[in-house]
């Protein structure tokens, strides 16, 4: 089947199977920032925004994205770069493999919780975004800095 979706502001058509997930569809369309970290929807690496809200693209059927607006980090613009810079400023992108998903989740979080999010709210919101390199504390420092600016 064919679906038409808007990725990063541009209309794209993709030929998919009904059981395809958005992660593979996006990667096959060339959006290589979308990473797979597990098979169980547990790691948050594949996070993209659908209509501005973070979803796990590994468990979001491509067919559901038909007619919707999808944002990957390639299209998330200057705001994403501000988040990324705040993380890099603390050295907490490290291997970088989980960073695109984390940055998009932070964008979604700011939209939902605003600048005044507490540390606990931040941790809760981002709990599904795993990272094995940093121990998370530096990421919290970076996120706070981004929210405060």
Q: Which of 72, 105, 110, 147 binds another protein (CB under 8 A)?
A: 72
67 or 77: whose CB is closer to another protein?
77
Q: Which of 9, 52, 96, 114 binds another protein (CB under 8 A)?
A: 96
Q: Which of 5, 35, 54, 107 binds another protein (CB under 8 A)?
A: 35
Sole window of 3-11, 29-37, 63-71, 107-115 interacting with another protein (rule: CB under 8 A): 29-37
Burial of 12 (0-12, 13-18, 19+ CB in 10 A): middle
Residue 55 and residue 65: Cα distance in Å, rounded?
11
Please measure the distance between the N-terminal and C-terminal CA atoms of the chain and give it in whole angstroms. 45
Q: Which of 4, 13, 42, 51 binds another protein (CB under 8 A)?
A: 42
Residue 110: helix, strand or coil by DSSP?
Answer: helix
Determine, following the binding rule CB under 8 A, whether residue 112 of this chain makes contact with another protein. no
- Which two structure tokens, joined as six digits, stand for 82? 């501000």
Query: What are residue 126's phi and psi, to 5 degrees?
Result: -100, 10
Please give the size of the binding site for another protein, defined by CB under 8 A.
51
Least distance to another protein from the beta carbon of 51, Å?
A: 20
On the CB side of 33, how many CA atoms lie within 13 Å of its CA? Answer: 18
Tell which residue, 53, 51, 55, 62, has the closest CA to residue 29. Answer: 62
Determine, following the binding rule CB under 8 A, whether residue 91 of this chain makes contact with another protein. yes
Residue numbers at the binding site for another protein (CB under 8 A): 28, 32-35, 37-40, 42-43, 45, 72-74, 80-81, 84-85, 87-100, 103, 123-124, 126-140
């Amino acid at each position: 089947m064919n679906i038409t979706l808007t990725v990063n502001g541009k209309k794209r058509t993709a030929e998919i199977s009904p059981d395809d997930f958005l992660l593979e569809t996006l990667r096959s369309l060339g959006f290589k920032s979308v990473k797979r970290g597990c098979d169980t929807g547990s790691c948050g690496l594949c996070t993209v925004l659908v209509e501005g809200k973070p979803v796990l693209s590994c468990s979001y059927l491509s067919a559901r994205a038909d007619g919707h607006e999808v944002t990957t980090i390639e299209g998330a613009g200057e705001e994403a770069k501000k988040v990324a810079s705040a993380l890099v400023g603390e050295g907490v992108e490290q291997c970088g493999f989980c960073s695109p998903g984390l940055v998009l989740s932070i964008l979604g979080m700011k939209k939902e919780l605003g600048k005044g999010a507490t540390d606990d709210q931040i941790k809760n919101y981002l709990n599904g975004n795993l990272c094995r390199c940093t121990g998370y504390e530096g990421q919290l420092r970076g996120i706070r800095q981004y929210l405060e600016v």
